[in-house]
Chain A
Amino acid sequence: MKLSINGQAREVDVDEDTPLLWVLRDHLGMTGTKYGCGVAQCGACTVHVDGVPRRACVTPVGSVAERDVVTIEGLAGAEADAVRTAWEAIDVPQCGYCQAGQIMTAVALLKEVAKPNDDQIDQAMAGNICRCATYVRIRRAIHSAAGDDS
């Protein structure tokens, strides 16, 4: 099966109903995308499919064959740079396991809403669980990445 991952053409020999997350991690060795709950509850496996955040654990790989998949390894652009800078400056991660998913969602939000308010941030990020509960810093970092340090 032919895939486009982070702008690169990849070919994998897998069943169409293999979860995209398995293909990324086990077949392509791209382990930045994390396995959390496996049932679309925690958001740790978030990738972008044609720019839209998508839980890779419940995405059959056959459904993304003709589409652009972006993972944390290939996340680029002004929003991604701003988010990475803010995450570092504010020391967001603790254990770090959920953070790839958090960043994928945060960047997707900022691509659509340049200066999100608290409600917009909470609604966008509600699908990404953090057991270290870094939520307050995530919220602050998204504001910071948006150039709004209030």
Chain B
Amino acid sequence: MKQIGLLPLETYVRTAAEMAQWGRELPKGHGLGIAVHRSFVTYVATVVEVAVDGEGRLTIPGVWSVMDAGTVVNPRHAEAQLEGGTLFGLSNALFGEITAKRGEVVQANFPAWRVMRMNESPRKMEVRIVESDAPPGGVGEPGTPPAAPALANAIFAATGTRVRRLPIFAADRSDRIAKEVGR
């Protein structure tokens, strides 16, 4: 039985990169970003592809994610959780700003708190669950942490500008990132 917490993260980085065909020629304005994280005794590596057009409009054409959660009882469920957890992370990285004013949260409902919708979700999404007999880890949350850094890295690859603050989109519902990325 393998030891928890000592596996090289490199394994997962390499798998996610392979899934995304890292190194392939990308269309103009596209960029790939990668991130890996261990949480809830589970490893997840994620690659995000972004496309940023000349006016700063961002789309996410593809996401690839690999998870090692040790022993998995219901692989289809784990796959669905990895998809959802990853997109949940992307949604928060893109839009999930929470601010308070006079002790009260400003974003009381969806009009003020934007979340990822169908039209903003990736057209291509591939997830893989590593076969393992190690003790089981979580499958719900671990998809979330690597999503934001993978996205931010992809934006850097596409635009040359580092994201220094999240969320990437301001609360003004802008669909353009140009101004916000460097703020």
Contact = CB atoms under 8 A, between A and B. Distances in A.
| Direct interface between A and B, CB < 8 A | yes
Interface of A: 37-39, 41-42, 91, 94, 118, 121-123, 125-139
B84 interface: yes
Contacts, number: 65
Given A131-B88, A132-B84, A133-B84, A139 B109 contact: no
B123 interface: yes
B109 A133 contact: no
B115 A129 contact: yes
A41 B118 contact: no
B87 interface: yes
B116 interface: yes
Nearest to B140: A94
A91 B84 contact: no
Given A39-B111, A41-B110, A133-B91, A126 B80 contact: no
Contacts of B115: 129, 131
A47 B117 CA distance: 19
B122 interface: yes
A39 B110 contact: yes
B99 interface: no
Contacts of B118: 121-122, 125-126, 128, 130, 135, 138-139
Contact of A136 (B83, B91, B110): B83
B83 A129 contact: no
A126 B119 CA distance: 6
B46 interface: no
